Amino acid sequence: MQASDSATHSVPVAELYDSAEGQLGPILFGGHLHWGFWDADNADDDFAGGSEKLAQLMINKTTIGQDEHFCDLGCGVGLPAIKLAQVKHCYVDGVTISGYQQHNATERAAAAGLQERVNFIHASALSIPKPDLSYDGGWFFESIFHMGHKAALKEAARVLKPGATLLLTDLPLLPTATDDFKQFVKQHIHSEFVTQTDYPTLFAEAGFALVECWDITENVMKPLVGKFKQALEQHKDAVAACADDKAVDNWVYLFEYMSENLGYVLITARKL
């Protein structure tokens, strides 16, 4: 599918993920493009292991049934969508603003023999090229802060059926987050974060009941930088092929800065 008009308007985020560094993410994170969850059961896992565990937690939280339709809004290179379809036997549409990711995810679905069940669309999740009430469930898996929470929830509410479960992982600003940090992430990773206290109003105004907000900051943000440095070392040849030392230092600095200023939550909501 061609990029919609609104996809071409969000060029900076697309460029971030289309870049060589953006393409390195899934190599470091075991095919995922989200961070990881570590607890006593998997404390020694590497980044890929932690990312896989977080994906399993998300899949376990969905209520999607066999042959129902699910939307993955900001789908990366598609591994969470593919795993969801394998476990739940549902249909999944993944939406990404990145042309590279749509292409890569489509190849992954075909390799898994799931091209009839899992479809990747190059478009903006703020203008999903699907009719109202198309989906029985959906998630924003570490993606909504690139889109703007209010507009993204409004568009999700349009395409979800009443009663559908919407999951999110999100990175709320800590009470100590600084204005310098907010400016930095807006400029460098095209992200705007909200606080946990913003959620009740945001969800209610978009037409969702907020069911659960599970704070997993300790499991995600505390181990983050150490696991990331380990992943850079594990994949040093791939890293060297597309990033110089300065770029790697900047990346570590970004992760340190984010872990000082942001928490991490897994949210369950229900479309009213």
Ligand X SMILES: C[S@@+](CC[C@H](N)C(=O)[O-])C[C@H]1O[C@@H](n2cnc3c(N)ncnc32)[C@H](O)[C@@H]1O
Whose tokens are 């770029």? That residue is 247
Smallest gap, in angstroms, from Cβ of residue 147 to ligand X?
Answer: 5
Beta strands at 91-96 and 118-122: parallel, antiparallel or unpaired = parallel
Smallest separation, CB 90 to ligand X (Å): 17
State the Cα–Cα distance between residues 123 and 96, nearest whole angstrom. Answer: 6
Of residues 102 and 117, the one with the C-beta less far from ligand X: 102
Between 152 and 239, CB nearer to ligand X: 152
Min dist CB 8 to ligand X, Å, is 11
Least distance CB 53 / ligand X (angstroms): 13
- Tell me which residues touch ligand X (CB under 6 A): 10, 13, 17, 32-34, 74-76, 80, 95-98, 101, 124-126, 141-143, 146-147
60 vs 176, which CB is nearer to ligand X?
A: 60
Q: Toward ligand X, which CB reaches closer, 97 or 209?
A: 97
CB-based contact 220:35 (threshold 8 Å): yes
Residue 266 pairs in a beta bridge with 169, 214
Pick from 48, 105, 6, 83: nearest CA to 228: 48
In the complex with ligand X, the residue whose CB is nearer, 146 or 158, is 146
Between the alpha carbon of residue 31 and those of residues 49, 52, 108, the distances in Å are 11, 9, 10
At 111, which amino acid appears? A
The H or E element containing residue 169 is strand 160-170
Q: C-beta of 136: minimal distance to ligand X in Å?
A: 19
